[in-house]
A and B are shown apart, each in its own frame.
Chain A
Amino acid sequence: MEEKNINEKESLEIISRMIQNTRKNKVSAKPYLWLGYTAAVGSVIVNALTIFVDSPWCAIVNYGFFTVLVTIAFLWFMIGIICRSRANGIAVSYIEKLNNASWGFVVIFMLLLLLVSQRFIQQSEDKLLVLGIMQFVLACILYAGNYFSTIAINEKYKVFSWVNCFAIGTLFGLGSNIGLKDGRTVLIMFSIELLFIIIVTLIVPGHKIRKENVK
């Protein structure tokens, strides 16, 4: 492209072509997908271990898993910012900025949750109950991050967030209505819920975004 005068039709063509090219600079689905896979596989293994193996060590492993999960979320967030391909230059879109801000918010909240919950776990007699509640709060934070991202990426993905919101409300209400008080049952309930939330908020939208990026 050179510095030359153009006619009206050419002007219009340049404007539309450049705007179209900029739109191709979409948000990467990789953090969604990998955080989703890690959380899903890890949750199944760790929660099964906690529920079926009667050892106090399992609660520690469970807590450790969430620490790892939060660390992975943090690393993915940082890697996404630092290791961007610079070969073709960098353009920060408004969508990307909003997406990064929402995930930054999620990661910071998760780290704070871990710090606060550590104190509660140490003091509580029913450690499994605290872990169950912690899982629920973690799921809510993931949901919040996903909700902001879906607004940023595409309006239509909001439906996943609403389904998720409904699932959280139903399962939580169900748990309190039945009157499940012991830690193990609460943990089972929240484990199922957490798994569902991970699939709905991370894996499914991640695949959708990847498909759109391929297009």
Chain B
Amino acid sequence: MRELDPLLHSQLRLAIMSILLGVESADFVYLRTQTESTAGNLSIQIEKLSEAEYINVVKYSDGGRSRTICSITDKGRDAMAVYAETLRSYLKGL
């Protein structure tokens, strides 16, 4: 049986990817509200997903305030599809 992607098989990273799957883009505040996580922890997980090229991160200044916009990449979408498929085969085996 195929292994579940370790990068996605974590509570917070999976939540971020699931949110981004349904929207074109989401900002940092939205992700933090939806996942009910701390800013520091969220930043680290976003960084990990970005390094794996699962998400795109754009940072810019909006009236003196720094904003971070995240969106899922094709690679991330494919990874989620494979993850869901593997998950399905795991659950079938239960």
- Rounded to whole Å, the gap between the CB of B22 and the closest CB of chain A is 4
Contact A1 B18 (CB under 8 A): no
Asked if A41 CB lies within 8 Å of chain B CBs, one says: no
Q: How far is it, in angstroms, between the C-alpha of A64 and the C-alpha of B15 when the chains are bound?
A: 52
Within B10-26, the residues touching A (CB, 8 Å) are 10-15, 18-19, 21-26
The residues of B that contact A88 with a CB separation of less than 8 Å are 29-30, 33
The residues of A that contact B44 with a CB separation of less than 8 Å are 3
Contact A91 B41 (CB under 8 A): no
Asked if B66 CB lies within 8 Å of chain A CBs, one says: no
**Residue ID in chain A nearest B62 by CB atoms:** A86
- What number of A residues sit within 8 Å (CB to CB) of B? 29
Contact A91 B25 (CB under 8 A): yes
Asked if A53 CB lies within 8 Å of chain B CBs, one says: no
Contact A91 B26 (CB under 8 A): yes
Asked if B9 CB lies within 8 Å of chain A CBs, one says: yes
Within A69-112, the residues touching B (CB, 8 Å) are 86, 88-94, 97
Contact A15 B11 (CB under 8 A): no
Asked if B73 CB lies within 8 Å of chain A CBs, one says: no
- Rounded to whole Å, the gap between the CB of B93 and the closest CB of chain A is 10
Contact B11 A94 (CB under 8 A): no
- What number of B residues sit within 8 Å (CB to CB) of A? 36
Mask, A11-31, CB within 8 Å of B = 1, is: 110110111011101000000
Which of A8, A12, A23, A94 has the most CB atoms of chain B within a 10 A radius of its CB? Answer: A8
**Residue ID in chain A nearest B45 by CB atoms:** A3
Q: How far is it, in angstroms, between the C-alpha of A23 and the C-alpha of B90 when the chains are bound?
A: 27
Q: How far is it, in angstroms, between the C-alpha of A17 and the C-alpha of B14 when the chains are bound?
A: 11
- Rounded to whole Å, the gap between the CB of B91 and the closest CB of chain A is 6
Contact B41 A94 (CB under 8 A): no
Q: How far is it, in angstroms, between the C-alpha of A5 and the C-alpha of B13 when the chains are bound?
A: 10
**Residue ID in chain A nearest B91 by CB atoms:** A8
The residues of B that contact A3 with a CB separation of less than 8 Å are 10-13, 41, 44-45
Q: How far is it, in angstroms, between the C-alpha of A12 and the C-alpha of B33 when the chains are bound?
A: 20
B14 is contacted by which of A11, A90, A91, A94 (Cβ under 8 Å)? Answer: A11
Asked if A6 CB lies within 8 Å of chain B CBs, one says: yes
Mask, A147-188, CB within 8 Å of B = 1, is: 000000000000000000000000000000000000000000
**Given A15-B84, A91-B23, A97-B24, 17 new contacts (CB under 8 A):** A3-B11, A3-B45, A4-B11, A6-B11, A8-B87, A8-B91, A10-B11, A11-B9, A11-B14, A12-B91, A17-B18, A89-B29, A90-B27, A90-B30, A92-B23, A93-B23, A94-B23
Seen from chain A, the residues whose Cβ lies within 8 Å of a Cβ on chain B are 1-6, 8-12, 14-15, 17-19, 21-23, 25, 86, 88-94, 97
Seen from chain B, the residues whose Cβ lies within 8 Å of a Cβ on chain A are 4, 9-15, 18-19, 21-37, 41, 44-45, 83-84, 87, 90-91, 94
